[in-house]
């Protein structure tokens, strides 16, 4: 069969060859669920068991077919080598200071994991602190957390294996550079909050053996670990057995005077959080409520100003404001607004040198405003251009800080910032094997179905001809209050070198224009997100950037759901679909790992009204006998966030019901998770996506 297919490829009859694909047989079972009187079949329910031999055999058989097809696409090798070449430049993160030491991450070019270094002073000689590449034979163990104690004597080191969200925490003596015997297991959704020679962290009880990657995660607990002791000696600080699907995380103020407990209950559809505190200097002190119960609003501690606590919140301010709370008088009547809500949404706040750096978003570009702890305006930071900036973090006594700026055609560049002068100078700029100025970024606004103006970024080589034949990837996310920011990636360059266009649509459901923008794309209004994406495709076609044959829909995670829903609703708009690690079964997502955490954004099939909406767009449940575009579904065996069963059941259904001669392939990575677990795997995946896309657009 393969030889025959290769013969046809030599004749150039690519699509006829692909039409001969023989998919693995996927056994069907007579399983039905009843939701509020509605019967819903689930014939591939058995694929949810990721530990069964039958599922493992199915995965192997699908990969044989998929890679058998991908191996015939010669451009994959060109893309892979070109991405490697263009990505092979030194990448550094902005340094962070602790005592006399500056810490930073560095990737020499194509290292699978970035390496952590430190140096004394800005002119000191860098010394290696930790190289994750040495921790596993395939370099899929990641450094997830490196958190230094206040005095810099100890560090908590978090490691994740094979792409899983599970982490193990270790403690390192920074004077000797050696790990102590401390090992903390089953850590997930956790920070590290230091208090003296110990820290608060969050974990789950140990899951059932063999079900670590699929079992629903419940009963999140907060513990305190003292350096030099075993985990079984840790002190249980907080748990809530009456609410098993709540998250509990702790942070401490810079001066370690306060510990703050954040409690969220998204499993009940609550998008906000509770906020508690304790005075760490009081022996035996218990947490007291500032905000007693999770609800509609968000509360995030910025810092303390002596005995007063500064909090970012959207209560009474959909675009966020900063308030001051006196813990001795926490009643809302005593709250004081120090930074009022603006037209632009506030994305976050960092602190350094006794100043607040407020990160606003203006038409999907960063704007940095400065004020003191009493809210007095101290100016703005004049950034290099319209793009994405982050950093400006440090301690109250610091006089200097760093920030990173980037855009689609501007590589991440680090600047050294003088707090008192509000001025900066170039600190580190990547040396690239191509000229970013050869590429152009434009921002367009287009009308969605209901007339709402939606922004999009369009990236291409200069001199693009609008002839309707440009191969175009349209990317979207649209959910969870997350903005799709202008971000540089060297891997985009090979796509554009081949004449490709890359488009990011800033759909509703994100945070581009604040909480109202988010709410307009969640729960019962989720269809707005799909309408926004469809309208983006139509805009690109009308303006002759591309046409359906040359247009690919791309998204991952919540964006994978987006692609699955959109090609069900408008398969005629796209020649290719690239849904990655997607939430495809909208009726059962809450049954696995931390899927219940998404109810606040999606709603739940347990609620009659929400079930009706979820059923109306669920990618798995709306596949019909239509002519679908060439589709490359991708997932990974260690994805314990969006479990691969979503993609397994979706692929099996789409392979059965597709009536076009275009292939439906599923690419299942091994020893990888929700994101590629190392650089090599990410390059391979990207090359496969580009090669598959061009091949099925008929572009040689």
The DSSP code sequence of 61-90 is HHHHHHHHHHTT-THHHHHHHHHHHHH-S-
**Same domain, yes or no: 569 and 598:** yes
Q: Looking at 431, 464, 480, which one is the last position of a domain?
A: 431
Asked if residue 505 lies in contact with residue 536, where contact means CB atoms within 8 angstroms, the answer is: yes
Parent domain of 393:
344-431
**Same domain, yes or no: 491 and 409:** no
Sole residue written with tokens 């259904």: 653
**Same domain, yes or no: 365 and 499:** no
Task: Return the closest-CA partner of residue 310 out of 345, 336, 329, 272.
Answer: 336
**Same domain, yes or no: 650 and 668:** yes
**Residues near 173 by Cβ (< 8 Å), separated by ≥ 6?**
153, 154, 179, 180
**Same domain, yes or no: 489 and 629:** yes
User: Measured between alpha carbons, how far is 655 from 88 in angstroms, rounded to an integer?
Assistant: 38
pTM: 0.90
User: Measured between alpha carbons, how far is 194 from 98 in angstroms, rounded to an integer?
Assistant: 14
Asked if residue 470 lies in contact with residue 458, where contact means CB atoms within 8 angstroms, the answer is: no
Q: Considering the domain boundaries, does residue 222 fall inside one?
A: no
Q: Considering the domain boundaries, does residue 527 fall inside one?
A: yes
**Same domain, yes or no: 533 and 574:** yes
**Same domain, yes or no: 452 and 394:** no
Relative to beta strand 472-475, strand 551-556 is parallel
Q: Considering the domain boundaries, does residue 232 fall inside one?
A: no
Cα dihedral 264, 565, 668, 144 in deg (nearest 10): -30
And the tokens for 582? 């997607």
Asked if residue 6 lies in contact with residue 20, where contact means CB atoms within 8 angstroms, the answer is: no
Q: Considering the domain boundaries, does residue 127 fall inside one?
A: no
pLDDT for position 134: 96
Q: Considering the domain boundaries, does residue 176 fall inside one?
A: no
Q: Looking at 378, 406, 431, which one is the last position of a domain?
A: 431
pLDDT for position 18: 46
> In the chain, how many domains are there?
2
User: Measured between alpha carbons, how far is 356 from 375 in angstroms, rounded to an integer?
Assistant: 8
pLDDT for position 386: 86
Q: How far is CA 322 from CA 98, 156, 356, 357, 652, in A?
A: 27, 30, 10, 12, 49
User: Measured between alpha carbons, how far is 626 from 572 in angstroms, rounded to an integer?
Assistant: 9
Distance of CA 675 to the CA centre of its chain: 8
- All residue ranges of the chain with pLDDT < 50 are 1-19
Q: Does the annotation count 557 as an active-site position?
A: yes
Q: Which of 264, 350, 557, 605 is catalytic?
A: 557
Q: Which of 220, 248, 298, 674 is catalytic?
A: 674
And the tokens for 249? 């995380």
> Looking at residue 668, which CATH number applies to its domain?
3.40.50.1820
**Same domain, yes or no: 382 and 465:** no
Asked if residue 594 lies in contact with residue 600, where contact means CB atoms within 8 angstroms, the answer is: no
Relative to beta strand 91-92, strand 32-35 is unpaired
Q: Considering the domain boundaries, does residue 663 fall inside one?
A: yes
**Same domain, yes or no: 456 and 512:** yes
Q: Considering the domain boundaries, does residue 575 fall inside one?
A: yes
Cα dihedral 113, 231, 267, 508 in deg (nearest 10): -20
Q: Looking at 431, 455, 482, which one is the last position of a domain?
A: 431
**Residues 571-593 as b or e (16 or more Cβ within 10 Å = b):** bebbbbbbbbbbbbbbbbbbebb
**Same domain, yes or no: 406 and 472:** no
Asked if residue 264 lies in contact with residue 596, where contact means CB atoms within 8 angstroms, the answer is: no
pLDDT for position 671: 87
**Same domain, yes or no: 379 and 511:** no
Q: Considering the domain boundaries, does residue 444 fall inside one?
A: yes
pLDDT for position 385: 87
**Same domain, yes or no: 401 and 503:** no
pLDDT for position 5: 32
């Amino acid at each position: 069969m393969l030889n025959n297919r290769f013969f046809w490829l030599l004749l150039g009859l690519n699509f006829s060859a692909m039409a001969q694909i023989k998919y693995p047989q996927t056994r069907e079972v007579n399983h039905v669920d009843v939701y509020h009187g509605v019967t819903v079949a689930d014939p591939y329910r058995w694929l949810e068991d990721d530990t069964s031999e039958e599922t493992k055999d199915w995965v192997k058989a699908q990969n044989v077919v998929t890679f058998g097809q991908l191996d015939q696409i010669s451009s994959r090798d060109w893309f892979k080598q070109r991405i490697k070449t263009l990505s092979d430049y030194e990448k550094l993160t902005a340094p962070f200071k602790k005592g006399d030491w500056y810490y930073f991450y560095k990737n020499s070019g194509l290292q699978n994991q970035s390496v952590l270094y430190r140096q004394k002073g800005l002119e000191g000689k860098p010394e290696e602190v930790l190289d994750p590449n040495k921790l596993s034979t395939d370099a899929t163990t990641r450094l997830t957390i490196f958190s230094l104690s206040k005095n810099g004597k100890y560090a908590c080191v978090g490691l994740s294996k094979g792409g899983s969200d599970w982490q193990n925490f270790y403690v390192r003596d920074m004077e000797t550079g050696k790990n102590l015997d401390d090992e903390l297991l089953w850590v997930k959704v956790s920070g590290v909050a230091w208090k003296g020679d110990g820290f608060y962290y969050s974990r789950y009880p140990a899951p059932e053996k063999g079900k670590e990657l699929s079992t629903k995660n419940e009963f999140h607990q907060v513990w305190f670990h003292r350096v030099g002791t075993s985990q079984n000696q840790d002190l249980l600080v907080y748990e809530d057995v009456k609410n098993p699907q709540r998250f509990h995380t702790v942070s401490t103020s810079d001066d370690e005077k306060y510990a703050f407990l954040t409690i969220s209950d998204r499993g009940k559809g609550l998008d906000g959080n509770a906020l508690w505190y304790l005075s760490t200097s009081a022996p035996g002190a218990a947490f007291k409520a500032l905000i007693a119960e999770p609800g509609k609003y968000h509360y995030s501690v910025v810092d303390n100003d002596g005995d007063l606590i500064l909090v970012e919140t959207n209560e009474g301010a959909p675009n966020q404001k900063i308030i001051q709370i006196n813990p001795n008088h926490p009643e809302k009547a005593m709250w004081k607004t120090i930074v009022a809500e603006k037209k632009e949404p506030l994305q976050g706040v960092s602190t350094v040198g006794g100043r607040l750096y407020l990160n606003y978003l203006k038409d999907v570009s960063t704007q940095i405003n400065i004020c003191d702890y009493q809210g007095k305006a101290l100016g703005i930071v004049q950034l290099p251009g319209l793009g994405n900036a982050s950093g400006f973090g440090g301690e109250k006594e610091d006089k200097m800080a760093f920030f990173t700026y980037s855009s689609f055609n501007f590589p991440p560049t680090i600047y050294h910032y003088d707090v008192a002068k509000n001025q900066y100078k170039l600190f580190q700029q990547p040396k690239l094997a191509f000229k970013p100025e050869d590429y152009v970024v434009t921002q367009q606004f287009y009308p969605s179905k209901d007339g709402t103006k939606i922004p999009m970024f369009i990236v291409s080589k200069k001199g693009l001809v609008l002839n309707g034949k440009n191969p175009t990837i349209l990317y979207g996310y649209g959910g969870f209050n997350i903005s799709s920011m202008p971000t540089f990636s060297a891997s985009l360059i090979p796509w554009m070198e081949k004449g490709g266009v890359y488009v990011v649509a800033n759909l509703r459901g994100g945070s581009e224009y604040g909480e109202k923008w988010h709410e307009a794309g969640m729960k019962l209004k989720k269809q707005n997100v799909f309408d926004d994406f469809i309208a983006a495709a139509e805009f690109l076609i009308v303006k002759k950037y591309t046409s359906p044959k040359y247009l690919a829909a791309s998204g991952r995670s919540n964006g994978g759901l987006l692609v699955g829903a959109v090609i069900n609703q408008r398969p005629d708009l796209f020649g290719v679909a690239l849904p990655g690690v997607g939430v495809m079964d909208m009726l059962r997502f809450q049954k696995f790992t931390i899927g219940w955490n998404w109810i606040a954004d999606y709603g739940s099939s347990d609620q009659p009204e929400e079930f009706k909406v979820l059923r109306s767009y669920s990618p798995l449940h709306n596949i019909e006998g239509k002519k679908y575009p060439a589709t490359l579904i991708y997932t990974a065996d260690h994805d314990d966030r969006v479990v691969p069963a979503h993609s397994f059941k979706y692929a099996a259904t789409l392979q059965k019901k597709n009536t076009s001669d275009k292939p439906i392939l599923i690419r299942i990575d091994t020893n990888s998770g929700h994101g590629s677990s190392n650089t090599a795997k990410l390059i391979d995946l990207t090359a496969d996506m580009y090669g598959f896309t061009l091949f099925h657009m008929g572009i040689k």
